[in-house]
Structure 1
Amino acid sequence: MRICLYGSGSAEIDKIYTNAAYKLGCLIAQKSHTLVYGGGDNGIMGACAQGVLENNGKLIGIAPEWIKDYDKLCKNCSEFIYVESMDKRKNKFLEESDVFIIAPGGIGTLDEFFETIVLRKLERHNKEIIIFNIDGFYNKMFDMFDDMVQKRFLFNHDNLVKIANTVDEIFEYLESS
């Protein structure tokens, strides 16, 4: 299975997030899956990639070539796909992935997540989306979703995503799909 990870590339985040991402990467490789991600070498992306690499797993990085001016890219990817733009990157993530895991992150992660969920809602894909809610990171977003449902701006969002608070819960979802 090709598992796409969206998550922070910041080297400044708390270890609780990178430790969980590292464990995720270890299990991705141990279970013979492939990590598809933005190719970063820091933060959640880098920690997950390191877990994959240390367990002899396969990595597919996808990024515009110019992103290296902003982020350090992983030099040890099994394959690195360069694209022209961030839009083409998101399209390539959709093409190359079987499932999406949304880990904690900033604006870029939210952009990727919301585009992926909108396309699922509009039936442009039917791939699983799992929110990796490390240390309750997304709880306020879930409250916002509930408020949107109460005010009738959002309907049936429960079927669009699954929420996992641990790496083990992620793999319970993956193995039951």
Structure 2
Amino acid sequence: MKDLFSICVYCGSSSRVSDTYKDAAHELGTELGRKGHQLVYGGGRVGLMGIVADATLAAGGSVVGIIPEHIQVLEVEHTGLTELLVVDSMHTRKNMMVERSDAFVILPGGLGTLDETFEILTWKQLRLHDKPVVVVNIDGYWNPLEELLDHMIAEGFAQPAHRKLFTVVTRVEDVLPALSAQPEPTIDPETKWL
């Protein structure tokens, strides 16, 4: 797989979470910065979003934040980024994040993170992109997501091959190796459900 320079991180904006998740965000940002990767993320300064951005910058990396106007007016945007793009909508934000990224990493988060995760996996299923996706299952946070996917497969709403749309790791140190090693999707467009 080609070099992965620009890595999108989807994660929560809440600060009222376990230090375990905050530590993981800091570790990931530090690793991205140290290895010379560019972080692409939602542009916030709070929660895991702010932590991963600050850590990437502190380790010498560049950070691109993409934030919708309606969130920026709440004064939650990060003002110390390499580049901050203010856009008109969540849809524009998500499209730009995909266009500006070579790969995707999902840390723990809430409804927004879940929305982004399902969208990026659906787009990969539909062959709108073939970029690697890694879910970081810190302390089993994403176990219910894996269980839901298994249930969907068991009930016939998804195929076993959909498990190959992403890789799950339990440690931040395994993220970059997993991104590099992730296989291309193998779902046949003729046999998948729309």
* Fold shared, TM-score > 0.5 on shorter chain: yes
SS at match of 1:80: strand
Counterpart of 2:153 in structure 1 is: 149
Given that 1:40 and 1:71 are in contact with CA atoms closer than 8 Å, whether structure 2 keeps it comes out as no
Alpha-carbon RMSD: 1.2
Given that 2:36 and 2:60 are in contact with CA atoms closer than 8 Å, whether structure 1 keeps it comes out as no
Partner of residue 94 from structure 1, selected from 91, 98, 103 = 98
> How many Å apart are 1:176 and its aligned residue?
3.2
Q: Once the two structures are superposed, what CA deviation does each residue of 1:54-106 show, in whole Å capped at 9, x if it has no partner? A: 11210000011220234621111101111110001010011000000111111
Counterpart of 1:109 in structure 2 is: 113
Given that 2:44 and 2:76 are in contact with CA atoms closer than 8 Å, whether structure 1 keeps it comes out as yes
Partner of residue 172 from structure 1, selected from 168, 174, 177 = 177
Which residue identity is paired with 2:107?
Answer: A
Counterpart of 1:45 in structure 2 is: 49
* Structure 1 unmatched runs, 5+: none
Q: Once the two structures are superposed, what CA deviation does each residue of 1:29-53 show, in whole Å capped at 9, x if it has no partner? A: 0000000000111111111111111
Among the aligned pairs, what percent are the same residue? Answer: 37
Given that 2:134 and 2:179 are in contact with CA atoms closer than 8 Å, whether structure 1 keeps it comes out as no
Given that 1:133 and 1:165 are in contact with CA atoms closer than 8 Å, whether structure 2 keeps it comes out as yes
Counterpart of 1:72 in structure 2 is: 76
Which residue identity is paired with 1:81?
Answer: L
Q: Does residue 15 of structure 2 align to residue 11 of structure 1?
A: yes
Partner of residue 124 from structure 1, selected from 116, 121, 128 = 128
Q: If you compute each CA radius of gyration, which structure gives the higher value, 1 or 2?
A: 2
* Structure 2 unmatched runs, 5+: 183-194
Distance verdict in 2 for CA 1:66–1:113, change over 3 Å:
same
Cα separation, 2, equivalents of 1:10 and 1:153: 32
Which residue identity is paired with 1:109?
Answer: T
Counterpart of 1:61 in structure 2 is: 65
Which residue identity is paired with 2:166?
Answer: V
